[in-house]
Amino acid sequence: MKLLTRYILLLFTACSLLISSCGKHSNDKEKVTPQTIIVYLSGTSLNWAFNINVQDIETALQQNIKGDSRVVVVWQNGVAKRAEAIELCYDNGHITRQPLAEYDLSNTMSKDDLSYIFNDVMRLAPASAYGLVIGSHSWAWIPFDDYDQIRSNGLSKSAYARLRIMEELPRHLQTRFIGDPNGANRFDITTLAEAIQATGKQFEYIIFDACFMANVEAAYELRNSTKYIIGSACEIMGNGFPYAKTLPHLLKNGGRSYDLSEAARSYHEHYKNTLKYSGTIALVNCSQLDALAMTMKEVNKSLSEEYDRNSLQTYEGGTNHIFFDLGDYVDKVCTSNEAKSKFKAQLEKCVPTKFTLDTFWSTYIHSDHYPITSFSGMSTSAPSILFRDSYSQTAWYKATH
């Protein structure tokens, strides 16, 4: 009798799911979902911020802006080894969180782990197009194998002590760069690129609510995985994107279109009007990155052997800098005016939209505000003295040398 009762309950639940999803009925089956936005929030150390982010997304959706498009959040919600996928549904002025699936997580996610989740969400919320928002800690292209070197930056144990203090900073001074080496659901950029390509889909865009991701080495890895990238060359503050202001630009025209330039502007304007620093953001057109690599290859044939690394624009507070402004680097080290001019023209095609303020805040090694005097939209690690072996294995390095 218990088994029969359980079967009846399961059958009833299955039928309920078939006839109702976010208020839609079976006669809506022929409707084509214009886009599904997947919000993938990785790790648990930023859970305080992720909760705010999801609430801000719900605030935006209360304006009844998504039409037939769908918004799915994949997050751990404070749980170390398990993630849940929930759909945020609009119903007559109210937002509900509809459970879709649960996933077991590895400490370091493989290509198969990630692609399984992406494929499953696409199966549960199929659409004509997909956008991806990733909220996490990040170090651009740098692999986890180099994590200890990032943490110490060639310094003594006092660097670790400073990092411990940094993690205890007030939340308005925390950023999203601090890695979580012991937490689940972490992945390298190469793994992310491989996972997306394994789905057979190309995202319309990836918005990185994570530090340092307007980076040419990282973007080049993802050039076949997405049409556009939005990211910051600097650390992103712990609170992340202002989703109540950003999401309407991703769900334009009743969810049928998006405006990525305005989405980037919303980030910049938010920090311009609140903190008045760390409003650095850029939109990268991935279809232009192969041509950029070709012009960079010519630049690399005309590099000055004598240049002042300390004169370059940098984007973190490290003792040994890791991220330098890409345009500033080429301008100061390339000895060929022709190669420099071609590179600059192509870089402008790669970065059609960019915004910055005069300063950014870094909590890495030396916590402080730092000036921005040269800004091309993307960073590079080419001048860095760190991670040289790993750097030589990047797709960008191989394409430009």
- Prediction pTM value: 0.92
Q: What does DSSP assign to residue 24?
A: B
Contact present, 137 and 211 (Cβ < 8 Å): yes
Q: Which helix (DSSP H) or strand (DSSP E) does residue 349 occupy?
A: helix 337-350
Contact 329, 311 (CB under 8 A): no
Six-digit token pair at 305?
């052997």
Tokens of 325: 């402004």
What pLDDT is recorded for position 156? 47
Q: From the options 3.90.950.20, 3.40.50.11970, 3.40.50.970, 2.60.40.420, give the CATH code of 33-287.
A: 3.40.50.11970
In which residue ranges of the chain is CATH 3.40.50.11970 found? 33-287
If we measure between CA atoms, which residue out of 262, 289, 265 comes closest to residue 350? 289
* The pair of three-digit structure tokens given for residue 401, joined into one six-digit string: 């040398």
What local confidence, expressed as pLDDT, does residue 95 receive?
Answer: 97
Please tell me the number of Cα atoms within 13 Å of 172 on its side-chain side: 5
Q: Which pLDDT value is given to residue 162?
A: 53
Of 245, 298, 186, nearest to 60 by C-alpha is 245
Query: Mean pLDDT, consecutive 10-residue segments, the chain of 401 residues?
Result: 35 41 49 93 94 98 97 95 97 95 95 98 98 96 84 57 59 78 83 98 98 98 98 97 98 97 98 98 98 98 93 94 97 97 98 98 92 98 95 98 97
- The secondary structure of residue 350, as a DSSP letter, is H
